[in-house]
Amino acid sequence: MSGLKTKHQRLVLIALAMVALIGAGLLATWALRNQASYFYVPSELRANPPALDRAVRLGGMVERGSIHTAADGVTTEFVVSDGKVSVPVRFKGIAPSLFVEGSGVVAEGKLGADGTFIADNLLAKHDEKYVPREMKDMNAAQAKQVVSETK
């Protein structure tokens, strides 16, 4: 590069840097292609099921009366619904304490050949009406007063 003018050296360096950045981006995209976990609701899962070996997330509400724990104490079967379609789910492990009937849940796992979703992990959602234990018996005015006193 000693035979090139300074202006041309700069252009060559910029071109090499751009090629290196594009290459790094393509390499990162290729490496992470199987790490993406798509999110489905039950109706989408039934309408367009993923490949059986593909890791996905299934989100919806746990149907009331659907939670059953097997005799081994760690296998839980339940049904997730979006109000239109229901999908049976099997989870082996310790369920989160917020996991109850009628609550929201996100199950991470794979769709089984029989249509049952096999979950590796459960993420339970709490409702948006969370109130600390200390404030649950207070009315709105008392709660506002406590909050303003702590500021």
Cβ proximity of 96 and 133 under 8 Å:
no
State pTM to two decimals: 0.62
Q: Considering the domain boundaries, does residue 103 fall inside one? A: yes
Q: Considering the domain boundaries, does residue 117 fall inside one? A: yes
- CATH of residue 83's domain is 2.40.50.140
Quick check: 102 pLDDT over 60? yes
Q: Considering the domain boundaries, does residue 60 fall inside one? A: yes
Q: Considering the domain boundaries, does residue 95 fall inside one? A: yes
Q: Considering the domain boundaries, does residue 134 fall inside one? A: no
List C-alpha distances in Å: 16 to 3, 9, 23, 28: 18, 11, 10, 18
Q: Considering the domain boundaries, does residue 7 fall inside one? A: no
Q: What is the pLDDT of residues 35-60, one digit of tens each?
A: 666 888 999 888 988 888 888 999 99
Domains in the chain: how many in total?
Answer: 1
Q: Considering the domain boundaries, does residue 22 fall inside one? A: no
For residue 96, what are the domain limits?
38-124
